[in-house]
């Protein structure tokens, strides 16, 4: 199992990269840069690439609506170039609140768009003249839609790799099935190992049945808050506001993917309460309503023995990459956490 971490998009680049450099020395395998509605992920990925040597770099995630497919491919090829072949293209649909509320772009057809974007990216990386006649993207544009001057083009530069790994963030059954079919990696959120098979098993099996063997095994990259020690139990409460934000505030009633996930995990009543409180402006009460059982399930917080048991559950559920969120406030201590995780995984 690989160990990664996610840099906060709200922090300073220099401070974050100093931490990553030290974590890389301790054996960190992957660093993921998110993109929500703060600074863009690409700027920070390039900065991290220049300051590191071995660690893989992933976008987590670039929204599929905010860049054209060919620009996404060009950006990925550029980041793969500046990192000497260490880039992983993480993409995802995000949600209507970000896509429509911040970018002003209609949120539609996430499945169809995702499939076409991946197809187009791989054409670009193979240096093919891009010809695509999909439902959502037509390259070149038909004359009646454009100037009539469009013609197939290929990327000028030679990409470092013609197959840059694609990781898709997905939690809905159809999205997960698509990911298991076409992507190298899957990035779920709030992963509950004991209930993952019940929630996603059928979708994963459906997608894998159509999977091209050349893609290899699906990398399952799971984000987990981590704190290891005898007196760290209180740090679970630091996870509450994050879960409450997603389950309660990321979307409207009836249109919140994260709330739906909590329901599928069996927390229907709790999910409704969290959302009602959050949308009524009672954010602290919403955070307090997040079930402690759910927090423990999606985290690695506790003494070494307990964390070792949770790691075994994650491995049994098919997780291949841990994306660690360090709850330990001291950056120097985080290096020790990576070493401890390595020990517990051995």
Structural domains for the chain: 2-227+300-345 (3.20.20.30), 240-297 (no CATH)
Question: What is the rounded CA–CA span in Å between residue 95 and residue 66?
Answer: 12
pLDDT digits (tens, 9 = 90+) for 200-236: 999 999 999 999 999 999 999 999 999 999 999 999 9
Phi, psi (deg, nearest 5) at residue 107: -90, 105
In angstroms, what CA-CA distances link 109 with 152, 169, 174, 179, 304?
A: 25, 15, 12, 15, 44
Q: Average pLDDT by consecutive 10-residue portion of the chain (346 residues)?
A: 86 82 94 91 94 96 96 98 98 92 95 98 98 94 82 96 98 97 97 98 98 97 96 96 96 91 98 98 98 98 97 98 93 90 94
Burial code (b: 16+ CB inside 10 Å, e: under 16) for 107-120 equals beebeebbbbbbeb
What confidence score (pLDDT) does residue 9 get? 65
Residue 11 has a pLDDT of: 64
Q: Is the pTM of this model over 0.85?
A: yes
Given this model, what pLDDT does residue 16 score? 83
Q: Kindly calculate the radius of gyration of the chain based on its CA atoms and give it in whole angstroms.
A: 20
Residue 111, CA distances (Å) to 93, 151, 156 in order: 8, 27, 29
pLDDT at residue 10 in the model: 64
The answer to whether the beta carbons of residues 35 and 59 sit under 8 Å apart is: yes
Q: How far is CA 210 from CA 101, 117, 183, in A?
A: 35, 18, 11
Any idea what DSSP says for residue 9? T
Other residues' Cβ atoms within 10 Å of the Cβ of residue 280: 11
**Distance between CA atoms of residues 333 and 346, nearest Å:** 20
What does the block give as tokens for 326? Answer: 């360090």
């Amino acid at each position: 199992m690989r160990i990664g971490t996610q840099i906060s998009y709200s922090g300073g680049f220099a401070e974050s990269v100093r931490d990553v450099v030290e974590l890389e020395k301790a054996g960190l395998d992957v660093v993921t840069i998110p993109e929500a509605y703060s600074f863009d992920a690409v700027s920070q990925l390039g900065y991290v690439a220049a300051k590191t040597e071995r660690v893989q770099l992933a976008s987590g995630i670039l929204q599929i609506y905010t860049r054209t497919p060919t620009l996404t491919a060009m950006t990925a090829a550029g980041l793969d170039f500046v990192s000497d072949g260490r880039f992983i293209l993480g993409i995802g649909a995000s949600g209507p609140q970000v896509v429509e509320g911040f970018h002003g772009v209609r949120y539609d057809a996430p499945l169809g768009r995702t499939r076409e974007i991946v197809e187009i990216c791989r054409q670009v990386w193979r240096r093919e003249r891009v010809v695509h006649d999909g439902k959502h993207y037509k390259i070149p544009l038909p004359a009646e839609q454009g100037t009539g001057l469009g013609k197939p083009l290929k990327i000028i530069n030679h990409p470092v790799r013609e197959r840059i790994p694609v990781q898709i963030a997905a939690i809905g059954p159809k999205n997960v099935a698509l990911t298991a079919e076409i992507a190298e990696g899957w990035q779920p959120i709030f992963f509950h190992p004991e209930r993952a098979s019940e929630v996603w098993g059928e979708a994963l099996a459906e997608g894998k049945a159509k999977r091209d063997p050349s893609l290899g095994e699906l990398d399952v990259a799971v984000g987990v808050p981590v704190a290891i020690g005898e007196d760290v139990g209180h740090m679970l409460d630091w996870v509450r506001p994050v879960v409450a934000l997603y389950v309660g505030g990321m979307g409207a009633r009836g249109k919140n993917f994260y709330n739906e996930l909590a329901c599928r995990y069996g927390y229907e009543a709790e999910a409704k309460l969290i959302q009602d409180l959050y949308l009524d402006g009672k954010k602290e009460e919403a955070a307090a309503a997040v079930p402690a059982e759910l927090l423990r399930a999606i985290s690695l917080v506790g003494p070494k023995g307990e964390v070792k048991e949770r790691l075994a559950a994650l491995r049994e559920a098919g997780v291949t990459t841990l994306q660690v969120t360090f709850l330990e406030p001291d950056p120097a201590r985080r290096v020790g956490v990576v070493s401890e995780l390595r020990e517990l995984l051995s």
